[in-house]
Structure 1
Amino acid sequence: MNKSPRIAVIGAGISGLSCSKNLHDGAFELFVYDKSRGPAGRMSTRRGDGWQCDHGAQYFTARDPGFRAEVARWQAAGVAGVWPARLAVFNEADGQRSETRLERFVGVPRMTAPARFLADTLPLTAQTTITRLERTPAGWQITSAEHGQLPGHFDAVLLAVPAPQAVPLLEAVAPDLAAIAAGAVMRGSWALMLRYDAPVALSFDAAFVNCGPLRWIARDNSKPGRGAQETWLLHASAEWSEAHIEETPEAVAAALLQAFGQLGGPAPQAWSAHRWRYADTEPALDKGCVWDAGLRIGLCGDWLNGGKVEGAWLSGQALARQVAQSFGAA
């Protein structure tokens, strides 16, 4: 009996989990690695003493039929729900206006929930930072910062990480893929999480802001399944974030709180800042995924497929299909 191909997936964000789940349901021996303490990537939630706040992806839409079916599966499992937010848009010219209703989904009880649901049945090794890939006659060897060379050889390696993190891993072993990753311009984003002792008297739960340093604000506890603690999330624009990427959290907080105050937001009782070094891609590529069947190495991620959670999930699915076809398991 032939041995099942050993596949290493590097990255347990939504694209890596989507790809891994698809392959795990097939005829592969799978190994998933992530440098963080757990899965989810940018579908992240900060938790503290009695409070929580989604500080990465804020919601997701589902237009593709395959992804809609997946989201329905998440809803049935209780890990996702519709967020009927009262939404506003702030423009410099015409001030505040309401936004037309779009079905927006969130993880329940926090944005990490769908990723954890996917990871539950996967062989995930967390806190493992991959630093080197080497192609040998026996297959791929992988080295991590924490554990040195990982045991055994792998028949294929799939990278589900931000483009700038993929480049140094690929340069020596897959220069064509490294060039694709190097061509993706990823931008940072500052996130500020605010905590209040009482409800904030604003007429909206979330808003797009098209002027000043802010681009998005949201009352996190208005999302389904959250607690009563009043928490708000401020996201700075990519342009402002890039210009201030090395600022101190205190300087960033001062600027974003001033902008929030101009929209009616009061000063918080406490705040926490987080710098996303690779938040989005401008513009996001439309390759879907990349698979080199000769080298047996591939790439997936939102940056390859238009951005956003849906794009990430679809990218992982597309790569899994190509891998399965290469190994004759489709």
Structure 2
Amino acid sequence: MTPPRVAIIGAGLAGLTLARFLTETGFPVKVFDKGRGPAGRMSTRREDGGGTFDHGAQYFTARDPGFQRMVGTWVEQGLVAEWRGRFGSLEHGTVTPQTEGPVRYVGVPGMNAVARRLASGVDLRSGVRVEHVRREADAWALTSESGEALGTFEVVVAAVPAPQAVPLLSGAPELAARAAGVRMEPCWAVMASFDAPVALPLDGVFLHGSPLSWAARDSSKPGRPPGERWVLHASPEFTREHLEEAPEAVAPLLLEAFARAAGVEVRPREARAHRWRYARAEPALTEGALFDERTGLGACGDWCAGSRVEGAFVSAVAVSRRIALMAR
């Protein structure tokens, strides 16, 4: 049989992993993404001075055997390395170092390194937001928000955050309802550059009792340019309260929260804020992926399988197997 044509909407880790698996097994695949380049929440931001920030996903762990094998391959290829930083928690000025913890991996030279490698050899069209997925005869017709016809496909997978997947799954109401039931928390992130090291004896900090939930000395990760750069992630509560405020108003608030929590002076040379409207599913689904074999419509992403980077990979594997079975 001729393999069905597959459209994947979203070029984050889940979408690119799925695209790579299907392409390598002979499926004609096209990926559409609204961003300027692949990676999604594994993006890396570059500053004018040459420094970089992993302003989305900070690191990842590997528990699933299949993902462990994949991470091992990435390590051999130099795409990934262990982040051997100093980790701990911070609450009301008290630092508690972490003596044990999971192995934490990061992309090299940025978190987007893995996505860029996965995207090589994949038919990816960036800068296109898919607005409609409509049934036409035995296929799905995709249309962009500008009205451009993007082609017809027998299989369509939405590899985007759950709220964005809902309208794309309208042709499979049961799946759309499952996606609509997933709540995704937002997160404000601040990227700050300093002329001197911040006087905190940790590189990765889990914060409690603060508007912040996480702070990382991003420049301590392997393969990064020299300098002192920090990424701060706000708590879901703070982010919801300030969701629609301007980035210029949010950055000083979170820098002040960092200084207050750490009990250190914080004077960045430059600081910018970025809003992740859909950062983490609370709680995530557990079925791995959503897919309707009768219609060829589905969804995948970390929100389907545990809300971690690893979950995005596991979800892509799950839906790829169901597509393969459908095509037999």
TM bin, normalised by shorter chain, reads over 0.9
- Give the conservation status (yes or no) of the 8 Å contact 1:216–1:236: yes
> Which amino acid is the alignment partner of residue 6 of structure 1?
R
Deviations 1:145-187 (A, max 9, x none): 2560113x2111011001111112223x221111111100011
Within the alignment, does 1:78 sit opposite 2:78 as a pair? yes
Deviations 1:59-97 (A, max 9, x none): 0000111101111111111111000010120134x9220
Query: Does structure 1 residue 28 correspond to structure 2 residue 24?
Result: no
User: Match of 2:201?
Assistant: 203
1:157-306 to structure 2, matched below 5 A, reads 157-171=156-170, 173-262=171-260, 263=262, 264-306=264-306
Partner of 1:143: 143
> 1:108-159: CA deviations, max 9, x gaps?
00010001111112111111110001111141110012560113x2111011
In structure 2, distance between residues paired with 1:123 and 1:252 = 38
TM score, norm. by length of structure 2: 0.96
Distance 2:129 2:77 in 1: 31
Instruction: Assess if the C-alpha contact under 8 Å between 1:62 and 1:310 holds in 2.
Output: yes
Q: Which amino acid aligns with 1:3?
A: T
Instruction: For 1:86-125, list aligned pairs within 5 A.
Output: 86-92=86-92, 95-99=94-98, 100-125=100-125
Q: Distance in 2 between matches of 1:46 and 1:265?
A: 25
**TM-score, normalised by the number of residues in structure 1:** 0.95
CA distance in structure 2 between the partners assigned to 1:270 and 1:27 by the alignment: 47
**Does structure 2 retain, via aligned residues, the 8 Å contact 1:261–1:267?**
no
> Which segment drifts farther, 115-124 or 192-201?
192-201
| Distance across 2 between alignment mates of 1:81 and 1:13 | 20
Give a deviation string over 1:207-243, Cα, whole Å, max 9, x none.
0001110000001110000010211000001121112
Asked if the contact 1:10/1:158 (under 8 Å) is kept, the reply is yes
Percent of residue pairs identical: 48
Q: How many residues align?
A: 324
In structure 2, the residue matched to 1:308 is 308
Structure 1 segments, 4+ long, off by >3 Å, are none
Give the Å deviation of 1:292: 0.2
> Residues 207 and 213 of structure 2 are in contact (CA less than 8 Å); yes or no, is this contact kept in structure 1?
yes
Q: Which amino acid aligns with 1:107?
A: G
Aligned-partner residue type, residue 157 of structure 1: V
Alignment of 1:324 with 2:324, yes or no, is yes
Q: State the Cα deviation string for residues 257-309 of structure 1 (Å, max 9, x = none).
A: 11111202522011011000000111111121011011111110001111010
What is the alpha-carbon distance in structure 2 between the residues aligned to residue 259 and residue 68 of structure 1?
36
Q: Summarize the Cα distance change of 1:251–1:63 in structure 2 as closer, same or farther, 3 Å threshold.
A: same
Conserved in 1, the CA contact under 8 Å of 2:248 and 2:272? no
Where 2:298 maps in the other structure, the secondary structure is strand
What amino acid does structure 1 have at the position aligned with 2:14? S
The CA distance in 1 between the partners of 2:101 and 2:3, in whole Å, is 47
Partner of 1:10: 9
Structure 1 position 27, deviation (Å): 2.5
State the Cα RMSD in Å: 1.3
CA distance in 1, matches of 2:213, 2:322: 37
Select between 189-198 and 260-269 the one with higher mean Cα deviation. 260-269
Question: Matches of 2:115 and 2:164 in 1, distance apart?
Answer: 21
